[in-house]
Every structure is written in C-alpha cells, then in structure tokens.
Structure 1
Amino acid sequence: MFDQCLYFNTVALGRQLERVWSEAFKPFDLTPSQAFTLRAVLERPGMLQSELAETLAIARATATRAIDGLEARGFVRRLGTKRDGRECEVHPTEKAVELRDPLNAASRMVTDRLKGQLGEEVFSHFVKEARTISSHLR
C-alpha cells in the first residue's frame, strides 16, 4: 500500500533502528538521543548549544532539552562564553569521559552488525543517500 511512500518507509525503518540503538545503549541507561548527544559533546568539547543542534540535525530547543537531561545526570556542564552571551559552551564531565570508549564501542558493534546484515556496500550507499536526501530537504 505504501511501497512508494518515503515518509512511511523511513519512519518504519526509524522505529526498527530506534529499537536496535535503544538496546545498545541500555547498559548505560541512556536513550539513543542522549547517547548520540553525549558522543557529540565528547567529540567536540566546548561546542555551543547551537552547534550541537546543527551537528545532530535537531532543533535548538530539542538540543537544550537533551543538554538539560544530561546535565541533570552529571554528564555535561554548561560554561558561559564571551563569543555569544546568549549561549553556553557544553563540556563533558569526568563521568562522561569515562563512558567515551564504551559508548563508541557499543555504537561500533551496532554499525558492524548492520553492515553484516545488509552488506557493506548497501549500508554505505544507504547512509550516503539518506544524508543527500536530508540535505536536499533542509
């Protein structure tokens, strides 16, 4: 019925991937959104909230809520900046730094599993095409 519907098929795929990534990050008591937010902060400490939102392709308000949750759990802290008085830099705490390698390993395991199921070429091609489509729709 919806074979040619981009919305239906991407949302259905998204739900499946949400389950896979939720299971991967369950040992850390993090949702996929929290884990990817934290991984971005660990990768680039000191990012402005707006830069984080851009990196994650989410709204600034969504990024703020994600940071709020991670801050409440002691994973990140905000520091004022002279660059822009309306925003703060986001820095990982020592507690977050301890999770860097395990989070990356969990992510790598999921990626490797999906590449194994789909094949390296199909996986890489799909990710590239999804990014292209996303950039065209912005």
Structure 2
Amino acid sequence: MKDKTIDYALRATWQAVARMYNEEAGKYDTTMATGFTLLSIDREKGTPSTSLGPKMGMEATSLSRILKNMESKGLIERKPNPEDGRSVLICLTELGREKREQSKTVVLKFNEVVQEQVSEEKLRHFFEVIEVINNLIVEKKIYR
C-alpha cells in the first residue's frame, strides 16, 4: 500500500473501467462516451444542450463532437426548447432509446457484479471516501 498513491489508484481503476466499458460498448457498435451521453439525456423530455455538459462534467467542444456523431448515427435529434426559445433540447430517437437501454443494462451489470463481491460496509466506506475527495476538490482545499 505504501507505493500506491490515491490519485494513481483512482486513475488506474478508472482507466480499467473505461477500457471495459468501451470493449462492451463495441459489441453494440457504440462507445462509452456515447453510452454515458445517452444515459444523461432525459428519456422522454430530452435535455437542454446547455445543461448536458455540466451534468456530465464535459467541456462544450468535447460534448459537441460526441453529439454531432450521435446525431449522424440517428441516436439523437435537436429540437427547439419550448420553455426557452434560445436553447435546444437534445432528444433521443427510437434508436437512441434502444441504445440507452443497452447502456443502462451494461452499467447495472457492472454495479451488480461489484456489489456481489464487495460488502455493503466496504461500499459505504468507498462512497464516503469518494465524497470526501470530491468535496476537497470542489471546496479548493487541496491547492489554494
């Protein structure tokens, strides 16, 4: 344990998870980024494009590229937002809803398998630690 740093463990684990998700997504002719985006869009009402980036923690340029690709594959469509004429809603197409369900199944399976292998107590501690790390970052208590 003394050689591992917290950031290394987080990064290495996330990279392994991302590889696993991308490998699984490839079976459905998609990517992890597309699956994550599909899961972030409201299934019925759509999601304003301006709130999607912050919701996903993505920069506008990266998200724009993903949305353009998703639109070209027929997964989403852009519609005027009836509540705000200046913004656009990102809405799922029927194909997008199907791919969203596939993505949801993949994520739930991952969670199910991990929960079978890790006790509730250890998972609770894991989430407590993650929350502390996030709060330290958000509150800028690491590098002032």
TM range (shorter): 0.7 to 0.9
Could you tell me whether the CA contact under 8 Å between 1:78 and 1:88 is conserved in 2? yes
Runs of 4+ in 1 over 4 A off after TM superposition: none
Could you tell me whether the CA contact under 8 Å between 2:35 and 2:100 is conserved in 1? no
How many percent identity over aligned positions?
18
Q: Does 1:104 align with 2:71?
A: no
Q: How many residue pairs are counted as aligned between the two chains?
A: 136
Q: Deviation of residue 92 (structure 1)?
A: 0.3
User: 5+ unaligned residues in a row in structure 2: which ranges?
Assistant: 139-144
Q: State the match for 2:34 in structure 1.
A: 34
Q: Partner amino acid for 1:49? A: S
Q: State the match for 2:115 in structure 1.
A: 115
Q: Partner amino acid for 1:122? A: K
Q: Which has the larger radius of gyration?
A: 2
User: 5+ unaligned residues in a row in structure 1: which ranges?
Assistant: none
Alignment of 1:36-55 (within 5 A): 36-43=36-43, 45-55=45-55
State the alpha-carbon separation in 2 of the partners of residues 41 and 48 from structure 1: 9
TM-score, L = length of structure 1:
0.80
TM-score, L = length of structure 2:
0.77
Could you tell me whether the CA contact under 8 Å between 1:76 and 1:92 is conserved in 2? yes
State the alpha-carbon separation in 1 of the partners of residues 20 and 128 from structure 2: 20
Q: 1:132 to 1:74 in 2, by over 3 A?
A: farther
State the alpha-carbon separation in 2 of the partners of residues 120 and 44 from structure 1: 33
